[in-house]
Structure 1
Amino acid sequence: MRRGRRRGAGSLLGALTAVAAAVLLGAQALTAAPSASATLFGDDFEDGDATGWSKSGGSWSVVSDGSRAYRQSGTGADARAVAGADWSDQAVQARVKPTAFNGTGRHVAVLARARSTTSYYFLGLSDTGSVVLGKRTGGGPLTLDSAPAAVTAGTWYTLRLEVFGTALRGFVDGAQVVSATDASIASGRAGLAGHYASASFDDVLVTDVAGPGGPSPSPTVTPTVTTPPGSCVTSGAPVGFASVNAWGQNGTTGGAGGPTVEVDTASELLSAIGRSGPLNVCVRGMITVPAGMHDVASDKTIVGVGADAGISGGGLNIGLPPDDAVTSPPADAVHNVIIRNLTFRGATDDAINVQMFSHHVWIDHNDLCCGYDGLVDIKRGSSYVTVSWNHTHRHTKNMLLGHDDDNAAQDTGRLKVTYHHNWFDRTPQRNPRVRFGEPVHVFNNYYVYNTDTGVACQAGAGCLVEGNYFERVEEPVTNSYAGPPGRCVARGNVFADGSGQPDCSGSVQEASAYYAYTLDDPASVKAAVVAGAGVGKIGG
């Protein structure tokens, strides 16, 4: 997190929330919360100033440009502004709008590893119609890689420069376009530049997490393919937070690389999911397990065979036993778990529970209903989870993210979860109900007749709710549901058949800072989700 300067009320990172929680909980929480956070620095300039930025050349000021932005208005100088700390590995992202270039070979850019205003790596938009990845080490700009691009003055672009070890990658609007290897500059601050060019800059974000190997050229929507009878599909990859490289885990691969076993009894299932090491567990038929939640070990794929496999009478627990004294991820936290294509019925507690800093979990294409407590609950510092293409129905307490208003010490800076293409089918509440997590990304889901709330965002959480289809949902999105308020941004959603309007305020960190995704047209979401969510619809 960014330290040492006043932040705007609309900060991208929710830092005020984190600091407030730390003050309430004491020094332990203050030091623990940033330990697992991927965020190093951020500025959306909504506080109206640029305190903390060091400038060289040009004419810099905070202006209104849609929202407040940091503008370099002159074209007669080699202008640079840097901020932050001396980081080695960093991903620097900002929205950039070039406005004018003075001559040829000019660019507007984001900077990484800025040792000074004459020593840094840069990713720039050039007047020559190209994206330029380069460096400066005391002299003029040196190009390391470039690619053609349409650069239009007055248009906003999102630039992301990643520098990890000796590898450099440049992204424009989520697509990787340039790369290089260079060892000239070991560390430095983040920055912005107008090399004899003027531009506006906004939503600056620096993280210590790289993208998941570059964005996929294909859309996020998984094609609906009926699973052939008798097959066990153990392939596939998530979109969203489960795809992010973080906490020592590169994406979510489950049992990949391990053996495959088929189970059709409770004893076989429980033995397999608790085994150490990578393992693919293929579940055949409905298996009735003892009451309670049964522990899943790391590096597991648990997948149903066909359309009639599942678990009844109990649920799955992904995580260590609860311990309020633990405020940062332990080395033995459960991680890298995939649960797909399973029907859950009659759980005596939660159907699926993720807790105690478990991370990199993908819950996909399941059918869940008729349990006692939650269908999918995620809590106690867990993070980097994707919940996708599930059909939940005939159940009240649907999905909880963050279990208690008093759990800031474990949850602040964590609970990073993506919910996409789920069918929340007449589930009155917790769709999801969110505390502390940011960003919580809820996109392209279908909500129908949720009589209490759709997305409830509270206790300092930051929820980005976009491209969903709400049908007959009186309170589709709110940050004032119960308890301490959160923050939410709702955009591009459909509110049909008497649905209410969002009750949202504040700003929220963008999910695109962590991973690439493609939004479906929200008008098509209902049909796509009804056809594709649930069991029997994954393909190899």
Structure 2
Amino acid sequence: MTSTDTTTGTRVRRLGRMPLFAATTAAVLAATSLAGMPAASAASFNLEGWATQCGGTTGGGNASPVTVTDAAGLISNMQASGARVIRVSGTITLSGMQKVASNKTIIGVGSGATITGGGLNVANASNVIIRNINFRDWSDDAINVQYSTRVWIDHNNFSNGNDGAVDIKRSSDCATVSWNRVFNHDKSFLLGHSDSNASEDVGRLRVSYHHNWFDGSNQRHPRVRFGNPVHVYNNYYRNVDGYGVASTCNAGVLVEGNYFENVEDPYHRGEGSSPDGNLVARNNHFVNSGSGETGGSVASIPYGYTLDPATNVKSIVTSGAGTGRI
């Protein structure tokens, strides 16, 4: 089925999984929705979304780049004080979760830069950029963000890890996760780790997820607790077996301009034992997919952004997401 969703808060209660539609329905976007918005033809490498807020995200800025080729070099540079631009070359095997300090840019060289075995722990830090790296076979999380602000995770590949690809939790705020590809993996993007952590998380966990390619991954695209508004826009969901987006614990999630293909459950409220959050969906495009569940209201988005027409998102994202584009 191909259709376009312009729902803005009407609740549709699901009974188990949403059934796949059997017929094809043509729908026209409301005149005020995407009128005048340009269609992108290639990946953007500019920062957009929540990581532009709270003072902005520049990482290591103009610091002289240093190239690392082994775990010792990577760890010493990303844990050093002061601004660093760290270029990852080749394959680096880490053990466990290795801390990333503030004011760091970690960027892969070419299309083959790889971190395997362990992951990056952005903890009690601010102003961190992680780009153009293949993360695979991690033992815990590929990237964990906690008690941190102003984080940009962009143009990476995530595959075959043990737990989450990108977990953002514990009072973290003002982050953007953009132009990444997740494949051959189960748990993608978790936002908020526990239903009982409201005292730290309410008023924070504000994250933008845009132009990511969820390529046969299973769940958490993202799974959200408490954050409001969380902005999920212009992502491509293909052959997702579990669910797309879940809003729980009074979160507010705007699901906007995404392309869902062969996704029976594109978005819903509540997940597992977590209570319903709020979810507003608009201008999404569906191909052989369910209709999703919406309800409640979401706070307004405070930043400017260009929304690609949902019908173009598949071609834009598949040609621009992942490594080797920078």
TM-score by length of 2: 0.86
Q: Which residue of 1 aligns with 2:25?
A: none
Superimposed CA distance per residue, residues 8-32 of structure 1 (whole angstroms, 9 cap, x where no aligned partner):
xx9xxxxxxxxxxxxxxxxxxxxxx
Fraction of identical pairs, as percent? 52
Stretches of 4+ moved more than 4 A in 1? 218-222
Q: Which residue of 1 aligns with 2:161?
A: 371
Q: Which residue of 2 aligns with 1:472?
A: 262
Question: Residue 61 of structure 2: which of 232, 256, 275 is its match?
Answer: 256
Q: Which residue of 2 aligns with 1:509?
A: 299
Query: Would the aligned equivalents of 1:304 and 1:340 in 2 still touch at CA under 8 Å?
Result: yes
| Aligned-partner Cα distance in 2 for 1:408–1:282 | 37
Letter in structure 2 aligned against 1:392? V
| Aligned-partner Cα distance in 1 for 2:38–2:165 | 28
What SS is found at the alignment partner of 2:319? helix
| Aligned-partner Cα distance in 2 for 1:307–1:429 | 26
What SS is found at the alignment partner of 2:209? strand
Letter in structure 1 aligned against 2:243? T
Superimposed CA distance per residue, residues 239-294 of structure 1 (whole angstroms, 9 cap, x where no aligned partner):
000011x2xxx21000013221000011101111101100100011111122x110
| Aligned-partner Cα distance in 2 for 1:355–1:412 | 14
1:530 and 2:321 matched: no
1:355 and 2:143 matched: no
Letter in structure 2 aligned against 1:466? E
| Aligned-partner Cα distance in 1 for 2:38–2:122 | 29
Letter in structure 1 aligned against 2:109? V
Superimposed CA distance per residue, residues 23-59 of structure 1 (whole angstroms, 9 cap, x where no aligned partner):
xxxxxxxxxxxxxxxxxxxxxxxxxxxxxxxxxxxxx
Question: Residue 281 of structure 2: which of 490, 504, 512 is its match?
Answer: 490
Change (3 A) 1:286 1:219: farther
What SS is found at the alignment partner of 1:270? helix
| Aligned-partner Cα distance in 1 for 2:266–2:258 | 10
Instruction: Tell me by how many angstroms 1:502 deviates.
Output: 1.7
Instruction: Tell me by how many angstroms 1:397 deviates.
Output: 1.2
Larger Rg: 1
Question: Residue 186 of structure 2: which of 396, 399, 405 is its match?
Answer: 396
1:302 and 2:302 matched: no
Q: Which residue of 2 aligns with 1:64?
A: none
Q: Which residue of 2 aligns with 1:238?
A: 47
Tell me the C-alpha RMSD between the 2 structures: 1.8
1:335 and 2:126 matched: yes
Q: Which residue of 2 aligns with 1:18?
A: none
Query: Would the aligned equivalents of 1:311 and 1:343 in 2 still touch at CA under 8 Å?
Result: yes
Instruction: Tell me by how many angstroms 1:495 deviates.
Output: 1.2
Q: Which residue of 2 aligns with 1:88?
A: none
Instruction: Tell me by how many angstroms 1:481 deviates.
Output: 2.9
Letter in structure 1 aligned against 2:145? V
Instruction: Tell me by how many angstroms 1:310 deviates.
Output: 1.5
Q: Which residue of 2 aligns with 1:46?
A: none
Q: Which residue of 1 aligns with 2:71?
A: 266
Query: Would the aligned equivalents of 1:274 and 1:296 in 2 still touch at CA under 8 Å?
Result: yes
Query: Would the aligned equivalents of 1:237 and 1:243 in 2 still touch at CA under 8 Å?
Result: no
What SS is found at the alignment partner of 2:162? coil
- Which blocks of at least 5 consecutive residues in structure 2 are unaligned? 1-8, 10-30
| Aligned-partner Cα distance in 2 for 1:420–1:219 | 16
Query: Would the aligned equivalents of 2:39 and 2:312 in 1 still touch at CA under 8 Å?
Result: no
Query: Would the aligned equivalents of 1:464 and 1:510 in 2 still touch at CA under 8 Å?
Result: no
As a proportion of its length, which structure holds more strand? 1
Superimposed CA distance per residue, residues 110-156 of structure 1 (whole angstroms, 9 cap, x where no aligned partner):
xxxxxxxxxxxxxxxxxxxxxxxxxxxxxxxxxxxxxxxxxxxxx99
Letter in structure 1 aligned against 2:47? P
What SS is found at the alignment partner of 1:267? helix
Letter in structure 1 aligned against 2:309? D
What is the number of equivalent residue pairs in this alignment?
292
Letter in structure 2 aligned against 1:261? V
Change (3 A) 1:394 1:467: same
| Aligned-partner Cα distance in 1 for 2:226–2:38 | 29
Query: Would the aligned equivalents of 2:210 and 2:232 in 1 still touch at CA under 8 Å?
Result: yes
Question: Residue 236 of structure 2: which of 432, 446, 453 is its match?
Answer: 446
Question: Residue 413 of structure 1: which of 203, 209, 230 is its match?
Answer: 203
What SS is found at the alignment partner of 1:495? strand
| Aligned-partner Cα distance in 2 for 1:339–1:365 | 9
Q: Which residue of 2 aligns with 1:520?
A: 308
| Aligned-partner Cα distance in 2 for 1:409–1:395 | 31
Q: Which residue of 2 aligns with 1:434?
A: 224
Superimposed CA distance per residue, residues 184-209 of structure 1 (whole angstroms, 9 cap, x where no aligned partner):
xxxxxxxxxxxxxxxxxxxxxxxxxx
Query: Would the aligned equivalents of 1:219 and 1:517 in 2 still touch at CA under 8 Å?
Result: no
